[in-house]
Amino acid sequence: MTPRLESVTKRLQAALARIDRAVETRAAEAEASGDEGARRLAAELAAVRSENSELAAANISVAARLDHAIDRLRAVLRA
């Protein structure tokens, strides 16, 4: 992975982690207060986590493909 892509990936993962913590905190607060929306928030959190997992897998795949394409382009340019 190129250094720039690696940096962007790390920043994206950190941002997603912050969002995840915020949602967990909100869901815990809602559940503690007896809010009926707690179940809805918990379901949304589960859905977001699933989507995050899928996006992370796609990100890894795309990064690998980009690295491979960049390596091939560099090889062609050197030839």
d(CA 6, CA 4): 5
Under a CB-based contact definition with an 8 Å cutoff, are residues 45 and 34 in contact? no
Mean pLDDT to the nearest integer, 11-27 = 84
Mean pLDDT to the nearest integer, 48-52 = 88
- For all residues of the chain together, what is the average pLDDT? 83
Question: Could you state, in order of their start, the residue ranges of all structural domains in the chain?
Answer: 3-78
pLDDT of residue 12: 84
Highest mean pLDDT (candidates 16-25, 41-50, 70-79): 70-79
Which band of pLDDT confidence, cut at 50, 70 and 90, is reported for residue 68?
A: very high
